[in-house]
Structures are given as structure tokens and as C-alpha cells.
Chain A
Amino acid sequence: MTEVGCNRDRHQVLVKLDKVSKRYGAHSVVSDVNLTANSGECLALLGHNGAGKTTLFKLMLGLIRTNGGSVQVAGAEPGGTAFHNIRRTVGFLPESVAFQDTMTGREVLEFYARLKQVPDEECDRLLKRMGLIDAARQRVRTYSKGMRQRLGLAQALLGEPRLLLLDEPTTGLDPELRRHFFDTIDGMCKAGAAIIMSSHALTEIEAHADRYAILAKGRLAALGTLRELKRQAGLPLRIRLTFPNGGAKAAAGALNGPCNLAKVNDKHIHLDCPEADKMSVLRMISGLNDPAQDVEIEPPRLEDLYAHFTGRERLQ
């Protein structure tokens, strides 16, 4: 793809969910979800098991129909006839991916490549990239969980997709492969692909997604960049002060104004401080009679935001 094409593709809305609802019988799995994903961005779908992530993927792939609202992927309705060819440009990795056990790794990949009309040569390239080239002639039955996951990823990357839907992509990958995986994802984002991935590994996804959609019981509890989510949540900063020679309790008395004292003992103070009061509190701390030896400031992490929006207590 040329540089110009790349730029033109950026920020094009690739996925648009408008008031989408899905019920199974009387049980509502997804209700009233509004969501967009643009080319060149990585959107993280977060939620407990059963929060509706997999259902959203199925809806975006046109494998099931909505009970209300509309889904648009690359300008077409998934499941409609116009969508058929668009599927060639969509990569999908299902949760706990499974393959035909009797086929070898290369055969599996070639099978999906042919369905997508991708030349067979790309299979070897992807097998190499995923470190599976030595196991390519083995039956999938003999593969470990991590190898299956990598084969699944290779399959999802066939044909340089414009849209990647990844359901729990990092399960079963070791740290080295995770890093490699996120490098790949970042590279594809830069090249203009839109990526939607669900994950439970909040700490590792924090650095890689551009926006986060938090689902709770089928509803969209929050959507935005990390900064936006922090502002919406209004969670306090955690400030940790260390007094190796004691005197923490005396200092705590002085700070007990704008802040909430989460933990005080002889040598440590943990404060929860609203974002807006950060500078004034820091000035108070530096003006203490018996100064603290060390100050640690910890902004709310994705885990805290997730807990906040899904209605759980902040992790201590």
C-alpha cells in the first residue's frame, strides 16, 4: 500500500454499531451498544466473561442477526450479500481457537488461505513469522496450546486484513511471543488496519490500545481513550509517602484535608487525592515539617478504571 493510500485510509470508520441489541430467548446478551472502530486504531473490548464480547464479534462478522439496531462493517451490513467479499479483508481469531486435528499446521493455514483467495506462499511467510515453520508438517493434534494460538493468529493475519477481530489473542502466549504479537499489532495499526481485541489481561493491553470499550452485562459502561476514561471516572491518584524514621502519623494529620487517608502507620501514608488537587497536595507534602523521604504518585490504572466502570471496588 502506498503512503497516500495509507493516509487516506486513516480514521475512516470501519465498524459502526448503532444501538445494537441481541437476545437469546428472553435473555439479553447485548443491549443498546453504540461503538465505532476506525482504521488505524486499536480498540480494546473489556468485560467479564459473558459480558457480550464474543456476541459482538459474531454480530460484526454477520454470523448472527441483531434484535435491534444496526451493524455496519466497511460500509456493508454483515450477513448481507454485499458483505461476502468484505470478509476477505477481515481477519478473525476466535476465543480458544480450534482446528481440525487431523491436518498439519500448513494444511490448516492453506485451507483458510484458499478460502480467502490468498496465495499459498503467504502461508510459509506467516508460519515463519509465528515461529511455526519447523512444526508446519506436524499434525495440529500434537500442537501445544500456545502453538495453536499462534496458528490461529497466522490464520487471522492472512491476506493483510483491514479489520482484525481478535478474541483473547494473547492467551497461551509466552512473554516473548506476547511482545512479538503486540509489535505486529502496532505495525498493522500504523499501516491503517482497524483492530478490535478483547482481553482480560488489562495491564498488558493498557499500553497498546488507543481506545477502550468496557462492557458490563451487555451494556457499554464506558468508551474512550485512557485519558477520557480517567476523567469520566474521576478516580483519585494514589500517593504513597515513606517516612523511614517514623513521624508519618504526625504528617498525616496535616494532610487530612483534601485527601482521603487510605492507610497510615508509623512509616507510611497512602493517600487518595483527587486529580484536580494534585499540585496543591504536592506543595503541602513538600512543606511538611518532617519531610517524607520518598513520594510515589500512581495514577489510576486501567484495572482501577475497569473495576470502577464494572461496579467493583478499587483494587487495594
Chain B
Amino acid sequence: MRTIAIIAAKELRDGVRNRWVAAAILLLAALALAIAFLGSGPVGTINASRLSVTVAGLTTLSVYLVPLIALMLSYDAIIGEIERGTLLLLLAHPVRRWQVLCGKFFGHLAILILAISIGYGLVGLAIWATQSVRPGEALALFNLIGSSVLLGAVFLALGYLLSAVSKERATAAGLAVAVWLVLAVIYDLALLGLIVADDGRVIGETLFSTLLMINPTNAFRVHNLMQFESVSAAAGLIGPDGTANQAMTTTLGILILWLVCAGLAAQGLFRRVDP
């Protein structure tokens, strides 16, 4: 534990020093505030409060931005240290490789937690200061923050995986962009295209929802949009009629499964790395 804490503290300090934390907070807070106060024109007509609409908007923001920030923090974690020559010295110390990986993970996770909770928290506070907020809506925001952190954790682990498998920093960076594009941007379009092309012959409803949900960004999106009726309505997602709790557990389970698998794979590859 001690070793992990030492490494995590170093990573966090590093993130603060090279302005990573500040940049991430600024980016998230600015875009979130923009969504909350500029993008809420139609609020009056659909009987959804401003916070509900904002949570729906922030969910979409998280889908794109949180994986990107997480990958940018993590793609460099192993190959970058190898290229700078710092990993050789670190591993010569009484540290185990899984401790190094966990230390980096918790350090980077702390950066994400800071950025997401400050960025989105500010929005919550701003709305709370200007209008009345129902308890359920506040819960939705907390839920969004928590699941965004979990989504970030998944992409941190994926970043370490890329970092351990790459022989050069540039390769890891390229792979990170590719993973982000595929999982956060292209996946849904590709799935849509597939369904249109298939025209209901092979892909039934079950296979479709499975394909949709195995993507962590979709699991995250569904998790947040299902949680209460008005949000579901605002996001154009049909409410699941009482199965919301079960569905939310499933979506969390998918994210955790991604985290565990990617983390274990990263550790397995990291063990074979020659520093």
C-alpha cells in the first residue's frame, strides 16, 4: 500500500505541476457551463428542469471528453518512462510491477476525480444557485460524476495496455487516438450502418442491444440516461418501465468488467516489458 501511495502521490503532483489538472478542470468546467447555460433553450417546452437537461448534455460531453483525457494521461505511462529512461531506475527499487501500475492508476484517477468533480460540480452549484433542484436531480448529477470517473478509469486501463504493448511513444499515441475514435465516435455509426445493411435479417433486438452495450461509452451513456424519466425524455431515450435499476446495475457491471479486463491485460503485458 505504502509503495502504491508513494507512486500515486508522485503522479498526482506531476499532473498538478505540468498543468494537466488545471487544463482538464478548465476544459470540463467551461464546456459543462456552456451546455448548462447556453444549450438549455428548449427547457420550458418539455417540462424538464434545467439540471435534468444539463445532466443529459453532460453525459454526451463525458462520452467524448473523459475517455480522451484519460487516454492522454495514460498512453505515455509506460512507454514514455521507458523512452525517458526513468522506468529502469524505478524498477530497480523495491517495487513490484503491479504496484507501479496501481500507483500510476490511482494517481491518474485522482486527477480525473479532481477534474470531473470540480468541473461538473461547478455546474451543479451554478444551477442550484439559480433555480430549485429536486433531490432526484442532484442524485443524477452525483451519479454522472461517479460513472464518469468509472468511465475514465476504464480508459486509463486501456491506455496502460496500449502503453505496455507499444515499442514507441508515437505508436502508443496513435493507438490511443484510434481507440478513442472507435469507441467514442465511430462505434455507434458503424452499428447503425450494420443494422441498415442487415435489414433485420440476422441482427435481432437482443443482439443489437448486446452489441450496443458492450461498448463502454454506450454502457455509460445508457447508465446515465436511464436513471430518471425526465432525463430519458430529454435525451430521447424511451424509459425502460421499472427495469431501470436492473439496467443500471448491468451498465455499471459492464464498465467494471472492462476496467478489470483491461487492467489485468495491461499488467500481464507490463510484466514482460524490458525497461
Which residues of A approach B to under 8 Å, CB–CB?
A: 58, 61, 63-64, 84-85, 87-88, 90, 92, 94, 96-100, 102-103, 107, 111-112, 114-117, 155
CA distance A98 to B84 in the complex (A): 7
Q: Are A63 and B91 in contact (CB under 8 A)?
A: yes
Q: List 21 A-B contacts (CB under 8 A).
A: A61-B91, A84-B96, A87-B93, A88-B94, A90-B92, A94-B89, A97-B89, A98-B84, A98-B85, A100-B10, A100-B14, A102-B14, A102-B17, A102-B18, A103-B10, A103-B14, A112-B93, A115-B90, A115-B94, A115-B95, A116-B93
Which residue on A lies nearest to B99, using beta carbons? Answer: A115
How many B residues are at the interface, by size bracket? Answer: 20 to 34
How far does the Cβ of B211 sit from chain A's closest Cβ, in whole Å?
39
Which residues of B approach A to under 8 Å, CB–CB?
A: 2-3, 6, 10, 13-14, 17-18, 84-86, 88-96, 274-275
How far does the Cβ of A20 sit from chain B's closest Cβ, in whole Å?
16
CA distance A240 to B84 in the complex (A): 50
Q: Are B14 and A87 in contact (CB under 8 A)?
A: no
Q: Are B274 and A58 in contact (CB under 8 A)?
A: yes
CA distance A146 to B156 in the complex (A): 36
With A102-B14, A111-B6: A63-B86 Cβ-Cβ less than 8 Å? no
Q: Are A63 and B13 in contact (CB under 8 A)?
A: no
Q: Are A61 and B92 in contact (CB under 8 A)?
A: yes
CA distance A112 to B10 in the complex (A): 11
Q: Are A63 and B85 in contact (CB under 8 A)?
A: no
Which residue on B lies nearest to A167, using beta carbons? Answer: B88
Residues of B within 8 A of A61 (CB): 91-92
Residues of A within 8 A of B92 (CB): 61, 63, 87, 90, 92, 94
Q: Are B274 and A63 in contact (CB under 8 A)?
A: yes
Residues of A within 8 A of B10 (CB): 100, 103, 111
Q: Are B94 and A100 in contact (CB under 8 A)?
A: no
Q: Are A103 and B94 in contact (CB under 8 A)?
A: no
Residues of B within 8 A of A99 (CB): 86
Residues of A within 8 A of B95 (CB): 115
How far does the Cβ of B10 sit from chain A's closest Cβ, in whole Å?
6
With A94-B85, A100-B10, A115-B3: A85-B91 Cβ-Cβ less than 8 Å? no
B14, B17, B90, B95 pick with most chain A CB within 10 angstroms: B17
Residues of A within 8 A of B84 (CB): 98
CA distance A100 to B76 in the complex (A): 13
Residues of A within 8 A of B274 (CB): 58, 63-64
Q: Are A115 and B93 in contact (CB under 8 A)?
A: yes
CA distance A116 to B274 in the complex (A): 22
How far does the Cβ of A83 sit from chain B's closest Cβ, in whole Å?
9
Which residue on B lies nearest to A81, using beta carbons? Answer: B96
Q: Are B94 and A85 in contact (CB under 8 A)?
A: yes
Residues of B within 8 A of A87 (CB): 92-94
Contacts A88-B94, A92-B92 known; list 13 others, CB within 8 Å. A63-B91, A85-B94, A87-B92, A92-B89, A97-B85, A98-B89, A102-B13, A102-B17, A103-B17, A112-B93, A115-B6, A115-B94, A116-B93
Residues of B within 8 A of A96 (CB): 85
CA distance A98 to B85 in the complex (A): 6
Residues of A within 8 A of B6 (CB): 111, 114-115
Which residue on A lies nearest to B89, using beta carbons? Answer: A94
CA distance A100 to B89 in the complex (A): 11
Which residue on B lies nearest to A91, using beta carbons? Answer: B92
